[in-house]
């Protein structure tokens, strides 16, 4: 019962694990870019061998970042039922779409070919790879670095009048206030519970009731969010914030050789994976 | 003592009313005038709803007077293009420590004001280090705001202002949500800033903080009803009580003792003065104190 009110303890926005590895020291901007390139490669690559190489590579990334692999595996666990259901559906119904290769099973509407089997295995592998690689990214980069990196990546969009800075400021403030609201929620839950309110005690299928239970929390939470927003605006204005104006930036980035190497490496790696004639 | 010095902030005949709707207005401030001089330490006191917080928000142009004028270093707060410069001269720290920090780390938050005013990178770094040093938060520069106590958050908020190097710092009940330790820390920082020449305006109802100031402005019903040094103000105990204001505990104790022992100084406002007074009387050789 005690854990029912402990929301702040479970907050894992940015599960940053500082180990000081080479991967941690990379520029977030380049990390994001390399991540995106790898993601594209994973999405396109459809060979067994290619995916085995990528899988081995993503495990190697974990070792390189000196983060225990169980953090990555714990991310895979909740996805397993999803992957299994998807695999079964693909196995049963994709034979007619990916009909290349030799026919393995054909009975009634079920058609399994070597190609459709490949699709099943490869998409399961893709899932694991994507989860592992994105875990490395979020585990080795703090949220602040990520938002800064994103801001710099989006910078070219300024030329089409996209409010890049405002966008990243919104994200920063949102991240900044998550723990604050979690604490507030905790307080509200305790206050309401001490006056006899019950949360999460209804049966799980009574969705309407369980939703209604949350109203006495959500409405005051919204109310206080509005108040906080007003205060925040005053504080920002008092510190000379004027939307849309030119600002200088505290963080200056020195692009290191390793950053460029990593980017080049991920491009080369992706090209290799996509175009190397793997036998299977 | 301020003769010959140019005032930093001039509040001239300022009135302010909130508009409820087209016809209905609620007057909050009525024809208020005073000056703040460079390096001064001023406390603005008044009970809830007296208009003291509204008044403080006029000092850096967050609110604009309905009538009258506020001039900061000669710049009128009604002129929009001057607002940025005005706010660089007069910094402001607010009540709730949770609602003032913008960034996800302490140093990024201190940098926020500097980024807004376009301070170059190299200068920014030294200014941030200096500001965090003044408030004693240098070791926590990489921490996230939610890992700090209320007092620490408020110190970071002050650092964010110090980094902009204003001539005046306005504290709008900045200590009212803090515990005793947090409040003491903040007061120490304020004292230090004032000693280094920054003007301090504190809006408060903690009378022990008021005792620290050079000058006190008492607001009641949107008017200035009393002005003077803390010692002068606290002698008018009956008047203050009448407008729901208290006097510091030290002042009450001194008056009580003075009642029974006429030569005990009734004009005491700090607790350390009580100790000194007792020592003085003990040394003085008066029989009843032996």
Q: pLDDT of B263-277, one tens digit each?
A: 888 888 888 888 888
ipTM of predicted complex: 0.83
Burial (CB count <10 Å: 0-12, 13-18, 19+), residue B97:
buried
Give A228 to chain B, closest Cα distance, Å: 6
Q: What share of chain A is helix, strand, coil (3-state, %, to 5)?
A: 70, 5, 25
Does residue A81 lie in a domain region? yes
Burial of B286 (0-12, 13-18, 19+ CB in 10 A): exposed
Beta bridge partners of B67: B15
Q: Give the helix ranges, DSSP H, for B1-149.
A: 52-58, 83-89, 106-116, 121-134
* Closest of A199, A221, A223 to residue A211, by C-alpha: A199
Asked if residue A198 belongs to a domain, the reply is: no
CA dihedral A257, A263, A266, A272 (to 10 degrees): -90
Asked if residue A239 is part of any domain, the answer here is no
CATH number of B9-247: 3.40.50.300
The total number of structural domains that make up chain A: 1
Q: Cα(B158)–Cα(B195) distance, rounded to whole angstroms? A: 16
CB-CB neighbors (< 8 A) of B89 in chain A: none
Contact B102 A248 (CB under 8 A): no
Of A8, A179, A248, the CB nearest to B121: A248
Domain span including residue A264: 17-141+254-275
Residue A248 covered by a domain: no
Decide if A210 contacts A204 (C-beta within 8 A).
yes
Hey, which residues does B228 pair with through a beta bridge? B216
Nearest Cα of chain B lies from the Cα of A237 at a distance, in angstroms, of 8
Closest residue, chain B, to A178 (C-alpha): B146
Question: For the whole model, what pTM was predicted?
Answer: 0.78
pLDDT in tens, chain A (280 residues): 445 566 555 444 456 777 888 888 888 899 999 999 999 999 998 889 999 999 999 999 999 999 888 888 887 888 888 889 989 888 888 777 766 777 787 777 778 888 888 888 999 999 999 989 988 888 888 877 888 888 888 888 888 888 888 888 888 888 888 888 888 888 888 888 888 877 766 676 777 877 787 888 889 999 999 999 999 999 999 998 887 777 777 776 778 899 999 999 999 999 998 888 877 7
Rounded to the nearest angstrom, the minimum Cα separation between A8 and chain B is 10
Q: Convert the pLDDT of each residue in B200-259 to its tens digit.
A: 999 988 888 898 899 999 999 899 999 999 999 988 888 888 888 888 888 888 888 888
Contacts A–B by Cβ distance under 8 A: 98
Which ranges in chain B are annotated with CATH 3.40.50.300?
A: 9-247
Euclidean distance between CA atoms B231 and B269, whole angstroms: 7
**Phi-psi group of B119: left, alpha or beta (phi > 0 → left; psi -120 to 50 → alpha; rest → beta):** beta
> At a CB cut-off of 8 Å and minimum separation 6, what does A136 contact?
A23, A58, A61, A62, A65, A67, A72
User: Which helix (H) or strand (E) element contains residue B190?
Assistant: helix B180-195
Map residue B75 onto helix, strand or coil. strand
Q: Which residue of B has its CA nearest to A14?
A: B104
**Pair B196, B41: CB distance under 8 Å:** no
Name which of A173, A235, A247, A253 to mutate to probe chain B: the one with the most chain B Cβ atoms within 10 A of its Cβ.
A235
Q: Work out the number of other CB atoms within 10 angstroms of the CB of residue B205.
A: 18
Q: Which token pair is A13?
A: 């926005």
């Amino acid at each position: 019962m005690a854990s029912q009110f402990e929301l702040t303890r479970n907050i894992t926005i940015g599960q940053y694990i500082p180990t000081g590895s080479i991967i941690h020291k990379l520029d977030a901007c380049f990390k994001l870019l390399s991540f995106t390139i790898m993601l594209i490669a994973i999405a396109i690559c459809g060979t067994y061998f290619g995916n085995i190489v990528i899988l081995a590579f993503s495990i190697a990334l974990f070792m390189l970042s000196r983060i225990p692999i169980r953090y990555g595996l714990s991310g895979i666990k909740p996805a397993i039922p999803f992957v299994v259901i998807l695999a079964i559906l693909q196995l049963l119904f994709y034979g007619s779409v990916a009909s290349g290769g030799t026919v393995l099973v054909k009975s009634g509407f079920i058609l399994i070919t070597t190609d459709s089997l490949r699709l099943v295995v490869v998409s399961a592998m893709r899932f694991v790879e994507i989860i592992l690689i994105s875990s490395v990214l979020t585990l080795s980069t703090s949220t602040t670095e990520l938002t800064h990196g994103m801001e710099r990546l989006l910078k070219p969009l300024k030329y089409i009048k996209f409010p890049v800075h405002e966008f990243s400021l919104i994200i920063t403030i949102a991240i900044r206030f998550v723990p604050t609201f979690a604490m507030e929620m905790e307080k509200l839950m305790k206050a309401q519970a001490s006056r006899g309110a019950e949360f999460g005690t209804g049966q799980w299928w009574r969705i309407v009731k369980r939703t209604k239970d949350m109203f006495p929390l959500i409405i005051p939470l919204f109310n206080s969010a509005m108040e906080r927003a007003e205060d925040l605006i005053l504080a920002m204005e008092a510190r000379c914030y004027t939307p849309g104006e030119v600002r200088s930036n505290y963080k200056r980035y020195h692009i290191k050789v390793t950053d460029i190497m990593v980017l080049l490496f991920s491009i080369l790696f992706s090209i290799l994976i996509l175009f190397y004639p793997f036998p299977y | 003592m301020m003769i010959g010095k140019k005032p930093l902030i001039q509040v001239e005949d300022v009135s302010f009313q909130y508009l409820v709707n087209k016809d209905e207005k609620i007057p909050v401030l009525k024809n208020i005038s005073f000056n703040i001089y460079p390096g001064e330490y001023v406390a603005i006191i008044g009970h809830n709803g007296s208009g003291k917080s509204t008044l403080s928000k006029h000092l850096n142009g967050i609110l604009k007077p309905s009538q009258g004028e506020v001039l900061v270093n000669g710049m009128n707060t009604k002129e929009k293009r001057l607002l940025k410069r005005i706010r660089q001269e007069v910094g402001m720290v607010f009540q709730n420590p949770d609602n003032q920090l913008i960034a996800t780390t302490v140093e990024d938050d201190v940098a926020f004001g500097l980024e807004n005013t376009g301070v170059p990178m190299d200068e920014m770094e030294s200014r941030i280090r200096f500001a965090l040093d003044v408030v004693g938060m240098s070791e926590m520069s990489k921490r996230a705001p939610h890992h700090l106590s209320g007092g620490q958050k408020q110190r970071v908020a002050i650092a964010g202002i110090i980094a902009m190097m204003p001539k005046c710092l306005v504290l709008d009940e900045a200590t009212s949500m803090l515990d005793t330790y947090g409040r003491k820390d903040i007061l120490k920082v304020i004292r230090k800033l004032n000693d280094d020449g920054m003007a301090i305006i504190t809006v408060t109802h903690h009378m022990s903080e008021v005792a620290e100031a050079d000058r006190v402005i008492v607001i009641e019903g949107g008017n200035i009803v009393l002005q003077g040094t803390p010692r002068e103000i606290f002698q008018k105990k009956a008047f203050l009580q009448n407008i729901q204001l208290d006097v510091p505990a030290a002042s009450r104790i001194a008056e009580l003792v003075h009642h029974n022992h006429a030569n005990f100084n009734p004009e005491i406002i700090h607790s350390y003065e009580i100790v000194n007074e007792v020592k003085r009387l003990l040394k003085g050789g008066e029989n009843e104190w032996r």
